[in-house]
Chains A and B, each alone.
Chain A
Amino acid sequence: MDILVCIKRVPVTGAKVTLTADEQAIDAGYLSFAPGPHEECAIEEAVQIAKKHGGRSTALTLGPDTAVEQLRYAASMGVDDLILLETDEEFPPMPTARAITAAIQAQERPFDVLLFGNESADAGGYQVGIRVAHALGMPVVTGVKKLEFADGADGGTTVATAHRQTPDGWELYEVPLPAVFTIKEGINVPRYPSIPGKLKAKKKPIQRITPEMGAVGLEKVRLVVPEAEASDVNILGHGAAAAPQVVELLAELGLV
């Protein structure tokens, strides 16, 4: 079973987000970059599936040369192959999906499972996975928090069971492969890369493809940082002096 996991290089912000002067990007002066939390889980899932069911895992990203860092990070977690759709331009969701679709179609081996993050950590467009599935004519399940595979009844096509969490319980979808799944944080606990993993990742070759922008669809005008919500934290006190208030609160909640 061959798995593709698509990830995005995004800045890791602190509590306060600062924008660049032109309001087009987050000021990343003293920030690091990483795949988003959903994508980190998708990488972990890809590695686990490949290990459990056999086959290769591939990480793909669209971004500048520096996005190699995120590919190497995926490799250090155990991903086998790396693809960079290299561009210094910012791709909106539609061209991104188109570029990824084209890259997938250009691969010699087809993928059985395509994993995305449920939404990107910066733009939060919730689009790319669905658009890629649509373009490839594959089924897609979004917001997946558990993924299982079983051989089909006739021993042929493998069927995946994707679990989605709803407020009232779980929704289960059975889909034949190949299929697209957008992964939600919580599906697993992603591993920390080990030192040998880092060293191996450094040596991995990277397949570089130059994507075409084409029609853009949805476009970014500018970014706005919303007003911070007032904190609800109410400090009850310090040390032993706080004990009566804590007891009172616990009583109020019916816990004591």
Chain B
Amino acid sequence: MSELPQKAKVVVIGAGIVGNSIVYHLAKLGWEDMVLIDKGPLPNPGGSTGHASNFLFLATHAKEFAELTMDSVRLYKELGVFTECGGIEVARTEERLEEFRRLMGSSKKWGIESHYVTPAEVKEMVPFINEETIVGGFYTPGVGVVDSLQAGTLMREYGEEKGVLQSFPNVEVMDIETEDGAVKAVVTDKGTIETEYVVIAAGVWSPRIAKMAGATIPLTPQVHQMISVGPIDILSETDGEIGYPIIRDMDTFMYERQSGGDMEVGSYAHRAILIHPDDIPSIEEAEMSPTELPFTEEDFEPQFEHSLEIMPDILGDETAGIRHAINGLLSLTPDGYPLLGETVEVKKLWSAAAIWIKEGPGTGRLIAEWMTYGESEIDAHHSDVSRFSNYARGEYHSDQRTAEAFIKTYGIVHPREQWESNRNVRVSPFYHMEKELGAVFFETAGWERPQWYASNEKLLAEYGDKVMDRPNEWDSRWWSPIINAEHLAMRERVGMVDLTALSIFDIKGSGAVEYMEKMAMAKMDVAIGRGVYTPILTPKGGFKSDLTILRLGKTHYRVITGGADGPRDMKWFSNHLPGDDSVYMVDMTSAYCTIGVWGPKARDLMQSVTKADMSNEAFPYGWTKKIRIDGVEVLAFRISYVGELGWEIYIPMEYGLGIGKKLWEAGQEFGVVPVGIGVYGTTGRLEKGYRLMSAELDADYSPVEAGLARPKVKKADFIGKEGYLKAREEGPTAVLCTLTVEDHTSKSGVKRYLQGGEPILTLDGETIKDAKGRYSYATSAGDGPSLGKQVLLAYLPLQYAKIGEKLYVEYMAENYPVTVRSIDSTPVFDPSNERMKG
């Protein structure tokens, strides 16, 4: 073994499936002078890769997971370590069958083959199953198992053979040195390596290693229990590692996966068992391996019985023993997504953590591309490690959320489901006012936001059937018809919306104009006082973000973006600062609270509290103005995300409550209603066809396809310009359309309402795929109470993007008729925007 080098271009820490895949893909992209280190031996250093059950189920509701898993399958196949065996998720309850129907819809939109199977069909494929315990199954033929250690070895050897990688087992990282906020060196027990880049791919140990550099990787290691039972004759008789489909017994949170003559029985049913990175035993101290902790049998006891119920013949065989049992460690994160990208705190220190076997190789490619090009083919928006607000980057939040999340691993999670743990972290000055009005709070980025107000229940009678009540429990979970009543009242009178959760940051300095031009697709050198909505593009011209920028002074801009988008956007903006003192950035989120005042009576209300001239002539649409309310100076911005006349009022935080009360009291005369985010984020937005980052907008679609291309391209250079020009030249492959649902009646006669994410089908019931292989699905779905119909947004290939085109949307395995209403950003409600601009 050669000596540890003193210098390297990149040091990758961790030789599990992720670290190996990163060096492989970096090598393919031409990187040289790389070092891979691990504190354990090779090929199995003792991390989570070494004890993984190594199977890959494909179906998921989430796009990023689907893409990463499919890419990983492709790579495992290329490496020759993938064995296709099929997988069946089985249901013991009707509720789970319904979830399978939903999951089948999700499979369709990612192009994953899967279908429903009866208990008898399951029995045919898996003869040792007790089909009487199940009511049905969900079969995915493409499910398989892999040899992840062999995959890692092959990928590592590729880099070594190419002469661009040196690998060092048994090297422990003691420190990471930084200089001027960037990585400088990795200090190990075998010497120090000066390096330009460091990638932390250390799985459950990642937070500890990040901490050495002063960075955060918020994950919490947790136990997943697994036993291996054998020998079992019927399994031994098959060839090789696996001959029967893997069973996931979803309602008991368990799986049964053949491994040679043994059956591995795994569980996600037990209590959350958190093990902090510093408490994980060393290789020497561990009884088995650091990530294979002693099995705590009492936690598995109900699973013994459940496993006997479903496979009594083989698991009930007294000659088949429990030959291996572990509390295996794996990485859980506060929101369930991986932790990818450059850390918030330290430049050129990358995180590639909280990735499981089924995403490993694909994630390696993603990270390597991102490091090389500044973006990756698979958009890592949800997995971006910079997505967390400061409070959420620490151990406390991660512990609370992951403890709550564990049972959701095999659970049925509603798309609107709220977290119970670590709530009330951030509250606006209006919080107590809202509570008194019966606000039902949903959380975003730690902020408590009213989703709707129970005090508006009285409006239900006023609007009757127009509130589009939902008779099905699933459809109406985490929802209330009050949202639609608030919507209608706002459109008739005036509503007040708490927008304090918005993220705000200021850009100032002599170079601010030039810098902002570089960042934004829209022209930034606009008149002082103007507010501009603009896409922010990736280097290749996909969406990095979309946000609103106010020019408040000659060299002063204010950027306003979504609460959950703020940290990621701030990272993007801060990474592109010129690096001298000509431009600087200040997070103002905690400085301002915000109220949206919208509706036909908004002007009357605003005029009643201020002497400033609020008329259309004096205060036109898209402009900002400092006005005084009760002597307090606030910034009013005439804009609307709900399609109504009105303003966003930015108030210094400590004046918020007073101004909020003033507006509320003054509003009584005009019939003001408190309006929740249910209207702001869904009903109002969709009637106006407003696009939402990470729903409609991501790196896969261009501004041209999203209907957000400007008539002209600005002269100034900006990030993504070349890609944008190319997209304009090429024209769209698919365009974002607005559709309405024409009939909600299901076969059983119950009206069903879509939740978003459902596949769009042709009238023949076929999935729709564009020339770039992207399937059509409802990127958003919600009620349009003013239209009396549900509204969907979906990208459609040009042949279907015709106004009046009739199609289907699939929801819970039934098709509902939809009609295309708009093929660009023209809203279905108030197409000429008269209400907003009047």
Contact = CB atoms under 8 A, between A and B. Distances in A.
Interface string B280-324: 111111111000011101000100110110000001111111110
A109 B131 CA distance: 47
Contacts of A30: 279-281, 285-287, 293-294
B287 A195 contact: no
Which 5 pairs across A and B sit closest by C-beta, in order of nearness? A192-B321, A32-B294, A16-B284, A30-B281, A194-B318
Interface string A41-83: 0000000000000000000000000000100000000000000
B287 A192 contact: no
A193 B305 CA distance: 15
B287 A32 contact: yes
Contacts of B307: 195
A192 B230 CA distance: 9
Interface string A10-25: 0011111010000000
A12 B326 CA distance: 14
A32 B327 CA distance: 11
Contacts, number: 65
Interface in A1-17: 12-16
Nearest to A72: B297
A196 B282 CA distance: 35
B793 interface: no
Contacts of B315: 195
B229 interface: yes
A197 interface: yes
A14 B290 CA distance: 10
B285 A193 contact: no
Interface of B: 229, 279-288, 293-295, 297, 301, 304-305, 307-308, 315-323
Interface residues of A, number: 21
15 contacts: A12-B294, A14-B283, A14-B284, A14-B288, A16-B284, A16-B285, A30-B285, A30-B293, A30-B294, A69-B297, A192-B323, A194-B321, A194-B322, A199-B308, A202-B301
A114 to B, nearest CB: 26
B293 to A, nearest CB: 6
A69 B280 CA distance: 24
Contacts of A196: 308, 316, 318
A36 to B, nearest CB: 14
Interface in A103-128: none
A195 to B, nearest CB: 5
Interface string A179-201: 00000000000011111111100
A10 to B, nearest CB: 12
Contacts of B321: 191-194
B294 A31 contact: yes
A16 B282 contact: yes
A35 to B, nearest CB: 14
Contact of B284 (A15, A194, A198): A15
A199 B279 contact: no
A16 B304 CA distance: 33
Nearest to B289: A14
Given A14-B285, A16-B285, A192-B323, 12 more contacts: A12-B287, A16-B282, A16-B284, A29-B279, A30-B285, A30-B286, A30-B294, A194-B317, A194-B322, A195-B304, A196-B318, A199-B308
Nearest to A11: B287
A29 B282 CA distance: 12
A14 B320 contact: no
Contacts of B281: 14, 29-30
A201 B828 CA distance: 67
Main secondary structure of the interface of A (DSSP, over half): loop
A202 to B, nearest CB: 7
B153 to A, nearest CB: 11
A13 B282 CA distance: 12
A77 B229 CA distance: 14
A192 B322 CA distance: 6
B287 A31 contact: yes
Interface of A: 12-16, 18, 29-32, 69, 191-199, 202
A189 to B, nearest CB: 11
Nearest to B294: A32
A32 B324 CA distance: 13
Contacts of B285: 14-16, 18, 30
A18 to B, nearest CB: 6
B229 A195 contact: yes
A255 to B, nearest CB: 28
A32 B295 contact: yes
A74 B287 CA distance: 21
Contacts of B229: 194-195
A32 B229 CA distance: 19
Contacts of B317: 194
Contact of A198 (B280, B319, B322): B322
Contacts of B305: 199
A161 to B, nearest CB: 28
A193 B229 CA distance: 9
A191 B322 CA distance: 9
A57 to B, nearest CB: 16
Contacts of B294: 12, 30-32
A139 B280 CA distance: 48
Contacts of B308: 195-196, 199
B48 to A, nearest CB: 16
Contacts of A18: 285
Contacts of A195: 229, 304, 307-308, 315-316, 320, 322
B447 to A, nearest CB: 39
Contacts of B282: 16
Nearest to B315: A195
A69 B319 CA distance: 21
Nearest to B265: A195
Contacts of B319: 194
A69 B298 CA distance: 9
Contact of B287 (A13, A191, A202): A13
A202 B297 CA distance: 11
Contacts of A14: 281, 283-288
A59 B481 CA distance: 65
A90 to B, nearest CB: 21
A230 to B, nearest CB: 15
Contacts of B323: 192
A18 B287 CA distance: 12
A215 to B, nearest CB: 36
Contacts of A69: 297
Given A12-B294, A30-B281, A199 B287 contact: no
The winner among A13, A29, A32 for most chain B CB atoms within 10 A is: A32
B24 to A, nearest CB: 19
B341 to A, nearest CB: 32
A246 to B, nearest CB: 18
A195 B322 CA distance: 7
Nearest to A15: B284
B41 to A, nearest CB: 11
Contacts of A29: 279, 281
B432 to A, nearest CB: 46
A209 B283 CA distance: 40
Contacts of A13: 287
A197 B283 CA distance: 32
A197 B318 contact: yes
Contacts of B279: 29-30
